[in-house]
Amino acid sequence: MTGRRLLTIEDLTAPDVLDVLAVAESLERHKRHSGFLPALLRGKCLGMIFDETSLRTRTAFERAMGDLGGQAIHYNGAEARVGRHAEKTEHLPDFVNVAGGFNDVLLSRIYDFATQERICALSPVPFINGMCDEHHPTQALCDLLTVKRRFGRLDGIGIAFVGDGTNIALSLAQAAAKVGARFTCATPETMALPVERTAHLAGFTATTDARAAVRDAHVVVADAWIPMNKAHEADRRREVLAPYRVTPALMDEARPDAVFLHNLPAYRGDEVVPEVIDGPRSVVYEEAVARLHIARSLLLYCLHPDWKDLAEAAHGDQDGAFGRWLDEIATRAAVRGDL
Protein backbone atom coordinates (compact mmCIF):
# COMPACT_ATOMS: atom_id res chain seq x y z
CA MET A 1 0.00 0.00 0.00
CA THR A 2 1.47 3.33 -1.03
CA GLY A 3 -0.59 5.62 1.19
CA ARG A 4 -1.02 8.18 -1.60
CA ARG A 5 -4.04 10.48 -1.64
CA LEU A 6 -5.84 12.82 -4.01
CA LEU A 7 -7.84 15.42 -2.10
CA THR A 8 -7.03 18.22 -4.55
CA ILE A 9 -4.87 18.52 -7.65
CA GLU A 10 -2.30 20.25 -5.45
CA ASP A 11 -1.59 16.86 -3.84
CA LEU A 12 0.04 15.84 -7.13
CA THR A 13 3.39 17.07 -8.37
CA ALA A 14 3.80 17.93 -12.04
CA PRO A 15 5.57 14.58 -12.67
CA ASP A 16 2.73 12.80 -10.81
CA VAL A 17 0.17 14.32 -13.18
CA LEU A 18 2.16 13.31 -16.24
CA ASP A 19 2.65 9.80 -14.81
CA VAL A 20 -1.08 9.35 -14.22
CA LEU A 21 -1.85 10.47 -17.76
CA ALA A 22 0.84 8.27 -19.32
CA VAL A 23 -0.30 5.16 -17.44
CA ALA A 24 -3.94 5.90 -18.31
CA GLU A 25 -3.09 6.07 -22.03
CA SER A 26 -0.93 2.95 -21.97
CA LEU A 27 -3.52 0.92 -20.06
CA GLU A 28 -6.16 1.94 -22.58
CA ARG A 29 -3.98 0.90 -25.52
CA HIS A 30 -3.12 -2.41 -23.89
CA LYS A 31 -6.77 -3.13 -23.10
CA ARG A 32 -7.81 -2.27 -26.65
CA HIS A 33 -5.16 -4.46 -28.24
CA SER A 34 -5.21 -7.40 -25.82
CA GLY A 35 -8.83 -7.35 -24.69
CA PHE A 36 -7.94 -7.52 -21.00
CA LEU A 37 -5.66 -6.15 -18.28
CA PRO A 38 -3.67 -8.23 -15.79
CA ALA A 39 -5.18 -8.46 -12.31
CA LEU A 40 -2.81 -5.91 -10.79
CA LEU A 41 -5.30 -5.13 -8.00
CA ARG A 42 -6.55 -8.65 -7.35
CA GLY A 43 -7.75 -8.94 -3.77
CA LYS A 44 -8.08 -5.16 -3.37
CA CYS A 45 -11.37 -3.42 -2.63
CA LEU A 46 -12.47 0.16 -3.24
CA GLY A 47 -15.04 1.68 -0.88
CA MET A 48 -17.05 4.49 -2.52
CA ILE A 49 -19.14 6.94 -0.49
CA PHE A 50 -21.62 8.91 -2.61
CA ASP A 51 -23.73 11.42 -0.73
CA GLU A 52 -24.46 12.97 -4.13
CA THR A 53 -25.76 10.88 -7.02
CA SER A 54 -23.18 9.77 -9.56
CA LEU A 55 -23.30 8.18 -12.99
CA ARG A 56 -19.91 8.64 -14.62
CA THR A 57 -17.60 8.63 -11.59
CA ARG A 58 -19.23 5.62 -9.96
CA THR A 59 -19.36 3.64 -13.21
CA ALA A 60 -15.76 4.50 -14.08
CA PHE A 61 -14.29 3.43 -10.74
CA GLU A 62 -16.41 0.29 -10.41
CA ARG A 63 -15.42 -0.78 -13.91
CA ALA A 64 -11.77 0.16 -13.31
CA MET A 65 -11.51 -2.03 -10.23
CA GLY A 66 -13.08 -4.92 -12.12
CA ASP A 67 -10.72 -4.46 -15.05
CA LEU A 68 -7.75 -4.67 -12.66
CA GLY A 69 -9.04 -7.71 -10.78
CA GLY A 70 -10.39 -5.90 -7.72
CA GLN A 71 -13.87 -5.04 -6.56
CA ALA A 72 -15.81 -1.99 -5.39
CA ILE A 73 -18.41 -1.43 -2.68
CA HIS A 74 -20.84 1.48 -2.89
CA TYR A 75 -22.23 3.33 0.14
CA ASN A 76 -24.83 6.06 -0.27
CA GLY A 77 -25.03 8.93 2.17
CA ALA A 78 -27.95 7.41 4.06
CA GLU A 79 -26.11 4.11 4.51
CA ALA A 80 -22.89 5.80 5.53
CA ARG A 81 -24.76 8.34 7.69
CA VAL A 82 -22.50 11.13 6.46
CA GLY A 83 -23.08 14.14 4.22
CA ARG A 84 -25.93 16.54 3.78
CA HIS A 85 -28.50 13.93 2.73
CA ALA A 86 -28.00 11.60 5.69
CA GLU A 87 -31.16 11.30 7.80
CA LYS A 88 -29.09 10.18 10.77
CA THR A 89 -25.46 11.03 11.35
CA GLU A 90 -22.64 8.88 12.66
CA HIS A 91 -19.47 10.00 14.38
CA LEU A 92 -17.28 10.56 11.31
CA PRO A 93 -14.13 8.90 12.68
CA ASP A 94 -16.19 5.79 13.43
CA PHE A 95 -17.42 5.51 9.87
CA VAL A 96 -14.10 6.32 8.20
CA ASN A 97 -12.09 3.88 10.31
CA VAL A 98 -14.62 1.09 9.81
CA ALA A 99 -14.86 1.74 6.06
CA GLY A 100 -11.07 1.93 5.89
CA GLY A 101 -10.83 -1.38 7.70
CA PHE A 102 -13.05 -3.08 5.14
CA ASN A 103 -11.42 -1.48 2.09
CA ASP A 104 -7.96 -0.83 0.66
CA VAL A 105 -8.78 2.61 -0.79
CA LEU A 106 -11.65 5.05 -0.24
CA LEU A 107 -13.33 7.40 -2.71
CA SER A 108 -15.73 9.98 -1.35
CA ARG A 109 -18.18 12.26 -3.17
CA ILE A 110 -19.53 14.51 -0.44
CA TYR A 111 -20.49 18.09 -1.23
CA ASP A 112 -18.80 19.84 1.70
CA PHE A 113 -15.05 20.21 1.20
CA ALA A 114 -14.38 20.45 4.93
CA THR A 115 -15.96 17.02 5.39
CA GLN A 116 -13.85 15.66 2.55
CA GLU A 117 -10.75 17.06 4.24
CA ARG A 118 -11.67 15.30 7.47
CA ILE A 119 -12.32 11.99 5.73
CA CYS A 120 -8.98 12.27 3.95
CA ALA A 121 -7.14 13.08 7.19
CA LEU A 122 -8.86 10.27 9.10
CA SER A 123 -8.62 7.58 6.45
CA PRO A 124 -6.25 4.71 7.31
CA VAL A 125 -6.03 3.88 3.58
CA PRO A 126 -5.41 5.93 0.41
CA PHE A 127 -8.15 8.44 -0.38
CA ILE A 128 -9.58 9.93 -3.60
CA ASN A 129 -11.85 12.98 -3.70
CA GLY A 130 -14.59 12.01 -6.16
CA MET A 131 -15.97 15.58 -6.12
CA CYS A 132 -17.00 18.26 -3.65
CA ASP A 133 -18.17 21.85 -3.79
CA GLU A 134 -14.65 23.31 -4.15
CA HIS A 135 -12.67 20.68 -6.06
CA HIS A 136 -13.09 18.00 -8.71
CA PRO A 137 -9.56 16.62 -9.23
CA THR A 138 -10.51 13.43 -11.07
CA GLN A 139 -12.43 15.45 -13.66
CA ALA A 140 -9.47 17.76 -14.22
CA LEU A 141 -7.29 14.75 -14.99
CA CYS A 142 -9.94 13.41 -17.40
CA ASP A 143 -9.98 16.75 -19.18
CA LEU A 144 -6.20 16.81 -19.52
CA LEU A 145 -6.21 13.28 -20.90
CA THR A 146 -8.89 14.24 -23.45
CA VAL A 147 -6.92 17.30 -24.53
CA LYS A 148 -3.66 15.36 -24.81
CA ARG A 149 -5.32 12.68 -26.94
CA ARG A 150 -6.80 15.34 -29.20
CA PHE A 151 -3.74 17.58 -29.65
CA GLY A 152 -0.87 15.24 -28.81
CA ARG A 153 0.54 17.55 -26.16
CA LEU A 154 -0.37 19.73 -23.18
CA ASP A 155 2.51 22.19 -22.95
CA GLY A 156 1.46 25.47 -24.56
CA ILE A 157 -2.16 24.44 -25.07
CA GLY A 158 -4.67 27.22 -24.45
CA ILE A 159 -7.66 26.30 -22.27
CA ALA A 160 -10.52 28.75 -21.77
CA PHE A 161 -13.18 28.23 -19.12
CA VAL A 162 -16.32 30.37 -19.38
CA GLY A 163 -19.15 30.71 -16.86
CA ASP A 164 -19.29 30.40 -13.09
CA GLY A 165 -15.97 29.86 -11.28
CA THR A 166 -16.85 26.36 -10.11
CA ASN A 167 -14.93 23.41 -8.69
CA ILE A 168 -14.35 22.33 -12.29
CA ALA A 169 -12.67 25.62 -13.11
CA LEU A 170 -10.42 25.57 -10.03
CA SER A 171 -9.21 21.98 -10.39
CA LEU A 172 -8.60 22.36 -14.12
CA ALA A 173 -6.70 25.62 -13.56
CA GLN A 174 -4.49 23.86 -11.00
CA ALA A 175 -3.93 20.91 -13.33
CA ALA A 176 -3.16 23.11 -16.34
CA ALA A 177 -0.48 24.94 -14.37
CA LYS A 178 1.31 21.65 -13.69
CA VAL A 179 1.56 20.65 -17.36
CA GLY A 180 2.47 23.99 -18.95
CA ALA A 181 -0.97 24.77 -20.40
CA ARG A 182 -2.35 28.31 -20.52
CA PHE A 183 -5.62 28.68 -18.58
CA THR A 184 -7.96 31.65 -18.96
CA CYS A 185 -11.03 31.85 -16.73
CA ALA A 186 -13.85 34.14 -17.87
CA THR A 187 -16.49 34.75 -15.20
CA PRO A 188 -18.68 37.54 -13.91
CA GLU A 189 -16.86 39.50 -11.21
CA THR A 190 -19.11 38.05 -8.52
CA MET A 191 -18.31 34.47 -9.60
CA ALA A 192 -14.55 34.68 -10.09
CA LEU A 193 -12.23 32.08 -8.61
CA PRO A 194 -10.68 33.24 -5.30
CA VAL A 195 -7.44 35.11 -5.93
CA GLU A 196 -5.75 33.28 -3.06
CA ARG A 197 -6.35 30.00 -4.93
CA THR A 198 -5.03 31.18 -8.29
CA ALA A 199 -2.37 33.86 -7.73
CA HIS A 200 0.43 31.26 -7.67
CA LEU A 201 -0.73 29.33 -10.75
CA ALA A 202 1.57 29.60 -13.76
CA GLY A 203 -0.20 30.51 -16.99
CA PHE A 204 -3.42 31.57 -15.24
CA THR A 205 -5.41 34.62 -16.40
CA ALA A 206 -8.75 35.90 -15.09
CA THR A 207 -11.13 38.07 -17.11
CA THR A 208 -14.78 39.00 -17.36
CA ASP A 209 -14.70 38.93 -21.18
CA ALA A 210 -15.74 35.55 -22.61
CA ARG A 211 -14.73 36.42 -26.17
CA ALA A 212 -11.30 37.57 -25.11
CA ALA A 213 -10.87 34.40 -23.06
CA VAL A 214 -11.56 31.98 -25.92
CA ARG A 215 -9.57 33.88 -28.53
CA ASP A 216 -6.86 31.53 -29.87
CA ALA A 217 -7.88 28.81 -27.36
CA HIS A 218 -7.48 25.15 -28.25
CA VAL A 219 -10.14 24.13 -25.72
CA VAL A 220 -13.33 25.80 -24.50
CA VAL A 221 -14.81 24.46 -21.24
CA ALA A 222 -18.18 25.09 -19.61
CA ASP A 223 -19.97 23.84 -16.51
CA ALA A 224 -23.57 23.87 -15.31
CA TRP A 225 -24.88 27.26 -14.28
CA ILE A 226 -27.30 26.09 -11.61
CA PRO A 227 -25.65 23.95 -8.91
CA MET A 228 -27.87 21.69 -6.84
CA ASN A 229 -27.68 24.00 -3.84
CA LYS A 230 -28.53 27.15 -5.84
CA ALA A 231 -31.72 26.21 -7.64
CA HIS A 232 -33.51 29.03 -5.82
CA GLU A 233 -31.20 31.51 -7.60
CA ALA A 234 -31.77 30.07 -11.08
CA ASP A 235 -33.36 33.12 -12.72
CA ARG A 236 -30.78 35.56 -11.37
CA ARG A 237 -27.89 33.30 -12.30
CA ARG A 238 -29.16 32.86 -15.87
CA GLU A 239 -29.37 36.62 -16.27
CA VAL A 240 -25.85 37.21 -14.95
CA LEU A 241 -24.30 34.34 -16.88
CA ALA A 242 -26.04 34.91 -20.23
CA PRO A 243 -22.93 36.54 -21.83
CA TYR A 244 -20.96 33.37 -21.04
CA ARG A 245 -23.19 30.92 -22.93
CA VAL A 246 -21.11 28.85 -25.37
CA THR A 247 -22.56 29.43 -28.83
CA PRO A 248 -21.21 28.80 -32.34
CA ALA A 249 -20.26 32.49 -32.47
CA LEU A 250 -18.21 32.16 -29.28
CA MET A 251 -16.52 28.99 -30.55
CA ASP A 252 -15.63 30.84 -33.75
CA GLU A 253 -13.46 33.17 -31.65
CA ALA A 254 -11.31 30.17 -30.70
CA ARG A 255 -8.87 28.35 -32.97
CA PRO A 256 -10.37 26.57 -36.00
CA ASP A 257 -9.43 23.22 -34.46
CA ALA A 258 -10.73 24.10 -30.97
CA VAL A 259 -12.84 21.56 -29.12
CA PHE A 260 -15.58 21.89 -26.52
CA LEU A 261 -15.49 20.16 -23.11
CA HIS A 262 -18.17 19.77 -20.46
CA ASN A 263 -18.06 17.42 -17.47
CA LEU A 264 -21.80 16.59 -17.78
CA PRO A 265 -24.62 16.66 -17.00
CA ALA A 266 -25.12 19.61 -19.34
CA TYR A 267 -28.15 21.86 -19.62
CA ARG A 268 -28.63 22.78 -23.25
CA GLY A 269 -29.75 26.36 -23.60
CA ASP A 270 -28.07 27.45 -20.37
CA GLU A 271 -24.28 27.18 -20.40
CA VAL A 272 -24.10 25.76 -23.93
CA VAL A 273 -26.41 25.56 -26.92
CA PRO A 274 -27.19 22.24 -28.67
CA GLU A 275 -25.40 23.31 -31.86
CA VAL A 276 -22.11 23.26 -29.92
CA ILE A 277 -22.40 20.38 -27.48
CA ASP A 278 -24.04 18.12 -30.07
CA GLY A 279 -21.88 19.41 -32.91
CA PRO A 280 -18.61 18.23 -34.49
CA ARG A 281 -16.36 20.28 -32.18
CA SER A 282 -17.71 18.64 -29.03
CA VAL A 283 -15.67 15.85 -27.40
CA VAL A 284 -17.82 15.49 -24.29
CA TYR A 285 -18.45 11.76 -24.75
CA GLU A 286 -14.76 11.05 -25.25
CA GLU A 287 -14.16 13.19 -22.15
CA ALA A 288 -16.71 11.17 -20.15
CA VAL A 289 -15.16 7.81 -21.07
CA ALA A 290 -11.73 9.19 -20.16
CA ARG A 291 -12.87 8.81 -16.55
CA LEU A 292 -12.44 5.06 -16.88
CA HIS A 293 -8.87 5.39 -18.12
CA ILE A 294 -8.02 7.88 -15.36
CA ALA A 295 -9.73 5.74 -12.72
CA ARG A 296 -7.58 2.72 -13.57
CA SER A 297 -4.44 4.83 -13.40
CA LEU A 298 -5.36 6.57 -10.14
CA LEU A 299 -6.18 3.29 -8.42
CA LEU A 300 -2.77 1.92 -9.37
CA TYR A 301 -1.18 5.21 -8.25
CA CYS A 302 -2.83 4.82 -4.86
CA LEU A 303 -2.32 1.11 -4.35
CA HIS A 304 0.34 -0.55 -6.45
CA PRO A 305 3.85 -0.91 -4.98
CA ASP A 306 5.39 -0.95 -8.47
CA TRP A 307 3.75 2.32 -9.55
CA LYS A 308 7.00 4.12 -10.43
CA ASP A 309 8.16 1.25 -12.65
CA LEU A 310 4.73 1.19 -14.27
CA ALA A 311 4.86 4.94 -14.94
CA GLU A 312 8.38 4.74 -16.35
CA ALA A 313 7.31 1.98 -18.71
CA ALA A 314 4.29 4.01 -19.81
CA HIS A 315 6.44 7.03 -20.69
CA GLY A 316 8.65 4.82 -22.84
CA ASP A 317 5.82 2.75 -24.28
CA GLN A 318 7.16 1.62 -27.66
CA ASP A 319 6.98 -1.68 -29.52
CA GLY A 320 4.98 -3.43 -26.82
CA ALA A 321 7.29 -2.37 -23.98
CA PHE A 322 4.41 -1.50 -21.69
CA GLY A 323 2.75 -4.87 -22.21
CA ARG A 324 6.00 -6.61 -21.30
CA TRP A 325 6.24 -4.49 -18.17
CA LEU A 326 2.70 -5.44 -17.19
CA ASP A 327 3.70 -9.09 -17.46
CA GLU A 328 6.81 -8.43 -15.39
CA ILE A 329 4.87 -6.57 -12.69
CA ALA A 330 2.26 -9.33 -12.56
CA THR A 331 5.09 -11.86 -12.11
CA ARG A 332 6.53 -9.82 -9.25
CA ALA A 333 3.10 -9.75 -7.61
CA ALA A 334 2.80 -13.53 -7.92
CA VAL A 335 6.21 -13.98 -6.31
CA ARG A 336 5.23 -11.66 -3.46
CA GLY A 337 1.96 -13.53 -3.08
CA ASP A 338 -0.22 -10.54 -4.02
CA LEU A 339 -2.07 -12.61 -6.68
* CB-count exposure of residue 269 (10 Å: 0-12, 13-18, 19+): exposed
Looking at the structure of the chain, the number of domains it has is: 2
- Scanning 184-320, the segments in alpha helix (DSSP H) are 195-198, 210-214, 234-241, 248-251, 274-277, 284-303, 307-315
Say whether both 119 and 10 belong to one domain.
yes
Query: Rounded to whole angstroms, how far apart are CA atoms 203 and 182?
Result: 5
Question: Which pLDDT score, from 0 to 100, does residue 237 have?
Answer: 97
Measure the CA dihedral 308/17/58/292, to 10°: -80
Query: Rounded to whole angstroms, how far apart are CA atoms 318 and 313?
Result: 9
Say whether both 254 and 294 belong to one domain.
no
Query: Rounded to whole angstroms, how far apart are CA atoms 147 and 300?
Result: 22
Quick: pLDDT tens for 45-75: 999 999 877 899 999 999 999 999 999 999 8
Say whether both 300 and 241 belong to one domain.
no
Say whether both 111 and 182 belong to one domain.
no
Query: 161, 206 in Cβ contact below 8 A?
Result: no
Say whether both 146 and 270 belong to one domain.
yes
**Residues in Cβ contact with 231 at an 8 Å cutoff, skipping those fewer than 6 apart:** none
Quick: pLDDT tens for 68-120: 999 999 988 777 777 776 666 768 888 899 999 999 999 999 999 999 999 99
Say whether both 179 and 270 belong to one domain.
yes
Domain carrying residue 298: 5-136+290-336
Verify cis geometry, omega within 30 degrees of 0, for the bond prior to 265: yes
Quick: pLDDT tens for 177-191: 999 999 999 999 999
> How much is the mean pLDDT over the chain?
92
Mean local confidence (pLDDT), 167-176: 98
Name the residue among 148, 139, 193 with its Cα closest to residue 168: 139
Say whether both 18 and 54 belong to one domain.
yes
Out of 272, 287, 302, a domain closes at 287
3-state secondary structure of 90: coil
Query: Rounded to whole angstroms, how far apart are CA atoms 187 and 213?
Result: 10
The structure's pTM equals 0.94
Q: What is the CATH number of the domain that holds 278?
A: 3.40.50.1370
Say whether both 63 and 111 belong to one domain.
yes
Query: Rounded to whole angstroms, how far apart are CA atoms 198 and 87?
Result: 37
Q: How confident is the model at residue 336 (pLDDT cuts 50, 70, 90)?
A: low
φ, ψ dihedrals at 195, nearest 5°: -60, -35
Say whether both 129 and 70 belong to one domain.
yes
Mean local confidence (pLDDT), 36-42: 91
Query: Rounded to whole angstroms, how far apart are CA atoms 84 and 102?
Result: 24
Out of 249, 270, 287, a domain closes at 287
Say whether both 210 and 159 belong to one domain.
yes
Say whether both 278 and 325 belong to one domain.
no
**Residues in Cβ contact with 185 at an 8 Å cutoff, skipping those fewer than 6 apart:** 160, 161, 165, 169, 173, 192, 193, 198, 204, 205, 206, 207, 213
Q: How confident is the model at residue 1 (pLDDT cuts 50, 70, 90)?
A: very low
φ, ψ dihedrals at 76, nearest 5°: -90, 170
Say whether both 297 and 181 belong to one domain.
no
Question: Which pLDDT score, from 0 to 100, does residue 87 have?
Answer: 60
